Every structure is written in C-alpha cells, then in structure tokens.
A = this chain, B = another copy of it.
Amino acid sequence: MPEGNKKDALADGRIRAVIDAVYPAVDGGRFAVKRVCGERMVVEADCFTDGHDALRVMLRWRGERESAWRETEMAHLGNDRWRGEFVTGDPGRYRYSVTAWVDHFLSWRREFMRREDAEDIRTAALVGAGLLGETAARAKGADRKRLSERANHLKAESDVAKLRTAALDEELAAVAARYPDRGLAAVWPTDMPLTVERERARFSSWYELFPRSTSPEAGRHGTFRDCEARLPYVAELGFDVLYLSPIHPIGREKRKGRNNALAAGPDDVGSPWAIGAAEGGHKAVHPALGTMEDFRRLVAKAREHGIEIALDIAYQCAPDHPYVTEHPQWFRWRPDGSVQYAENPPKKYEDIFPFNFETGDWRGLWQELKSVIDFWIGEGVKIFRVDNPHTKAFGFWEWAIAEIGQAHPDVIFLSEAFTRPMVMHRLAKLGFTQSYTYFAWRNTRHELAEYFTELAQGPGREYFRPNVWPNTPDILTEALQFGGRPMFMARVVLAATLAANYGIYGPAYELMENVPREPGSEEYLNSEKYELRHWDLDRPDSLRAFIALINRIRRENPALQSDGSLRFFPTDNDQLICYAKMDETGDNAIVTVVNLDPRNPHSGWVDLDLALLGIDSHLQYQMHDLLTGARYLWQGSRNFVMLDPARVPAHVFRVRRRVHREQDFDYFA
C-alpha cells in the first residue's frame, strides 16, 4: 500500500501542501543559524499546493527543550515564497520550522469573489455554509455562535448581492481564520536549530595584552594588580573585552628564550602558551601574576569599567605539565620512550606537547578539557579566545561548545584559526561565536571589498561572525612594518568600521610597534611572547586618543554594531575605498572612506548608492565626519573626497539626511 511521502512526514497521502525549502538554513539544518537577543529572525519558505487552492503558512519556533511551539502567520511574497518573522528571546538554543495547509474556507472565499453566474453563486454559498458549519464546530463561545449564524444565513439567503456581501465579509474571514482545519497540514521535516547569543557576540571591541608586561616598573614581572591599574586606560580607549594571554604556570622544560631562542637563560620567562609546570596546569595561575583571589578581583574590577576579561584557551602542554605524568594516555609516545612534541617538519616545537585526540581515553580527555572552561566560568570568565582550535578534533568542539552553551548560554568563544577557509567555516558552524579572519592580509581596495562582501553576504553570514584584528602577537604585517603612523590609523579605522567585532593587540598597536624580528618575518622583534616588555603609554605620539574616538563612534552608531548591511561603493581612485553600513531601521547610516596609501594624499570621486542610504537624489544631504567634526554638504551620488594620510587617512561620515532649507525659517510661507 502507498504510504505517501514519508520523508515529508506525509503518513497521510491527502496532505497536499508542499514545503519545498526553508531559509535561512546552514547545511540543511545540520548546524545552527546564529542571532543575538532581541534581533528580528526573518524566515522565508517556498510553499505551494497543487491546483488553485489557497494555502496558509505558519512560522513556528520554540526553545530547544520546550515542546510547545509559538507561531506567527507567514505572508505570501509572490512566486510561492512566504515570509514571517519573530523577535529572538534570551540566549539559548531554539528551533524553528514551518507548517502549511490547504485552507478550504480561504480557497472558497477567493473563488467566490470571482464568481459571476447567479446559480453558480447560490451553489457556492451552500458549499460555503458547509465549510462555515465545520469551522463553527471547531470554534468556541461567541465565535462559534457567529460562525453558525453565518452558515445558516448562507444557506437561507437567495439574493445574490446579499450572498456576496455576507460571504466576503472581512470580519467573518478573520473569525474563520482562527479555527482552521489543520488536520492535513504539512510540516517541514527538520526542526532547524537557531542559537541566540547575547549582544556582545555581535558587537565587541577587544584589547589584548600580556599581563606580565603591565608593571609600571621596567623589568618587574607584571601582576593581576598591575592589570587592575591598567583598566582605566583600557576603558578610556573604549574597549569592552580585555583579552589576556595565558595566565597559567609556564613550563620550564625546553623553555624558549628571548626571540624564540632554542635555549632559555635562567631569567627567561618563557612563552605563556607553553602551559603547565610543577605549580599546576590549565586551572592554575602563574604565581608571579598573583593569586586566584587577585584574578577574581581583576574580573570584578573590570566589570565595574564595563570591561569583560577574556581568557585564552590553549589545549597543549609544556613537557612538565602535570597532565603528562597524570594522564600519559592523552599523549602520543614515540618508540624512544619520549612524548611526541608538536612539529610540522622540518619545524619543531619541543616546548609543546599536543594532545592525542585518537586516545582510547578520549572521553576522559574531552571531559577534562571541557572542565578547564567550566573552571574559569566558575571564576567569572564568560569570554574565551581559543588558540588554534583547528589542530584539535572537530567533534570535540561541537560537543564541548554545545554542552557549555546549555549550562551557560552567555559564554562567547572566539576561534583563532588562521587556516583554510573551509576549516574556519566548519569551526564557526560547530559553534564558535566569533572567528578570526584574513583581514590582516587584505590591503588593496579589491581585496578588502571582495573579502568583506563575502563575509557580509556569503553563506557564512548566518553563522560566521568575523572578528578582525590589524595585529596580534603573532602578526606584524608588512603593511604595519612599512606604513608608519598613517597605516596604523588606516588599519584600525578599517577594522573598526568594516567589522562589528574587532580587536587590537596593545600597547604594541597604539604605540605603533613595527620592527620585525628579521626581514620578511611577521614576528615582532623582542616579542612579548618570550620576554617582559615595558610600554610607555604616555608617549605623545600614541594613537590612544584616536582609538578612543573610533570606539566612541562605534558605541554611538548602531550601524557599526552589526555586519550584514555592509556595502561597498565605487570610487574612481583605487587608493580610496568607500563603504556604508546601516542599522536595521535605516536611520543610522555610516559611510567610511579610507585612503589606503600611507604616503600620498589622494583625491577622487565616490559614487554612493543613494537609494540604499535612503537619500533623495534631488536634495542636499550632510556628511558629518565623526573623526574631525567637519560637515560637508553633498548632493547626488557622485561626490569629491580628498584624504591626506599625514593628517587623517579616513572619513567616517554620519549621513544626515535633513539639511535646513528656507522652509525652516519662521517667516517662510
């Protein structure tokens, strides 16, 4: 016997509504779409039925562990595409789906409108009376009574004009719509996952520092107390996430010296990423930084400044990490009885032991690794920057992030995977909140426009949130090495206006540290990764005020707080890049123009999309440069700009559509 189309849950062959597709979807619902709380979640679906009958389509959603759906009606956009939306709730995992059915009353009503023949209308009225009678049987109270009365009226009336009026009454349609027969509704077979996160998942400004380099005294190891003293500075700069390099005990075996020397001297502090020593491992703090109590204080004080502390999660061990002796089964052993250190021949990283994710004790390893994050959540940390997640088993991340998210839906994970595109995307699909990008190496107008258009509009837009960094402790790009102050200014403007999530590694950035370890290298000379540094934050050439201004502009302009609206505009000079972002309402629009050449002033014409910006092409509009305070009156799409990198290499314009005119004067009119 036929059993209908089982895949569409059509156990009943009478189900005639078809749901052909639901958008958005990440890999057909295998992975979650991401939103933040209070955002509009717009869902579209391709739905139709055979013949001419009318369809009704509902968008439904629920918390992942709830059983009851909430529903909202979807509207037909044309060509069988339907759209509905809801506003996302608290952080957590949700499910959404679509259901559709052939609606007999609606079909009858739509056909009734087109009927011309009197006899035909009378027969149709009888059919409608039957449908209304069935509808009444499903209704309650006053509605039930009213539907029954209308059914009887349609049966009794013979005047065609009156029948038409009665049948097509809008109010009747509204009442009937509340009691549809959904017995033959089609349901989209996948309950599509949706992850809702807190707002900082979408909009955040990161500042990375090495706690040990925060001492006001040169040569002394910095402490959590010193970090505390640095908080007002970070707050003044306008950052809301303070990300610390690893704070754990550092291995002594095979420790690296300054500038990554193979042998360390007795005073060398080693790399904070060589985690673990006699004092403890991933759940301990380096004694020189202070105590756990000091750390808790730092977290609390930071919160007072509106700053969250983010920790680094680097799942790897120094040779003297306690795990190595306590859980030898988590490491790969070589025939010579030694543990296999990290390597990418011919390169060797003797001070680092990777975990063996193929260990028979993978369950024990997974639980322990997850417990590291749980431990720091217990200490008040809610943001984690994960070091090289692409060198750990992908299955682990999906499990761990889901488990942690269920208990703590406000935890944010940043994926530090500078690797191939598909791998970066997979990590984002598996649950990472934000992801590092290739921004550091995108310099020309074409490169930037192509890459950021892909990020804003490609399939990743539903799950891959870029977090862009002009520098990191590992990345001192050639642009920064050779571009001087104008390049440091341009790159931070680009980062902060192209991406709602961005960060800098400071104080190296604001102090424009630009000397590589050797020509052709992207490593810093005298990198903090291997030694203490002392920074003169008050240097008069510091970019701190400029960066503070940029972060203020970001806070004050919702356009810069999300990424989907980004659009690039043409310019007639390749050294000038121009783009806009708008907020959801369209009220707040920011147009940024950057001179990409750090050496020469450039001028040219930019060509705005006025319709996109909501500007009437016949009227003047004001471009208010938030960096300099200057205001320009523009008209039409093509306008002239000139940027001298020796002064400010960028305009960050707030578009002000209203320009005063003669009508504004009291005596006008």
Contact = CB atoms under 8 A, between A and B. Distances in A.
Contacts of A21: 27
A665 B114 CA distance: 79
A336 B1 contact: no
A358 interface: yes
A393 B115 contact: no
B423 A80 contact: yes
Contact of A15 (B126, B395, B422): B395
A655 to B, nearest CB: 35
Contacts of A334: 123, 126-127
A28 to B, nearest CB: 4
A345 B111 contact: yes
A238 to B, nearest CB: 36
Number of copies: 2
Contacts of A27: 20-21, 28
Contacts of A344: 52
A202 B6 CA distance: 29
A27 to B, nearest CB: 7
Max chain B Cβ within 10 angstroms of own Cβ: one of A5, A120, A395: A395
A621 interface: no
A126 to B, nearest CB: 4
Interface in A1-19: 1-5, 7-8, 10, 12-16, 18
B357 A14 contact: yes
A509 interface: no
A331 interface: no
Contact of A20 (B129, B130, B426): B426
Interface in A268-283: none
A620 B658 CA distance: 64
Contacts of A30: 7
A207 interface: no
Given A80-B422, A114-B345, A395 B5 contact: yes
B396 A13 contact: yes
Contacts of A363: 1-2, 13
B396 A20 contact: no
Nearest to A8: B395
Nearest to A419: B48
Interface string A345-368: 110100000100111101100110
User: Among the interface residues A129, A362, A422, which one has the most CB atoms of the partner chain B within 10 A?
Assistant: A422
A51 B184 contact: no
A50 B390 contact: yes
A343 B130 CA distance: 19
Contact of A422 (B46, B129, B184, B357): B46
Nearest to A12: B362
Contact of A362 (B13, B18, B79, B127): B13
A399 interface: yes
Contacts of A367: 1-2
Given A18-B426, A117-B346, A127-B334, 19 more contacts: A3-B399, A5-B394, A13-B362, A13-B366, A13-B399, A14-B358, A16-B357, A16-B395, A27-B28, A28-B28, A50-B392, A50-B393, A79-B421, A81-B422, A102-B358, A111-B345, A116-B346, A123-B336, A126-B334
24 contacts: A1-B367, A2-B366, A5-B395, A13-B366, A15-B393, A18-B426, A20-B422, A27-B28, A28-B28, A46-B422, A50-B391, A50-B393, A51-B390, A79-B420, A79-B421, A80-B422, A111-B343, A112-B345, A114-B345, A117-B346, A123-B334, A126-B336, A129-B335, A184-B358
Interface of A: 1-5, 7-8, 10, 12-16, 18, 20-21, 27-28, 30, 46, 48, 50-52, 79-81, 102, 111-112, 114-117, 120, 123, 126-127, 129-130, 184, 334-336, 343-346, 348, 354, 357-360, 362-363, 366-367, 390-396, 398-399, 403, 420-423, 425-426
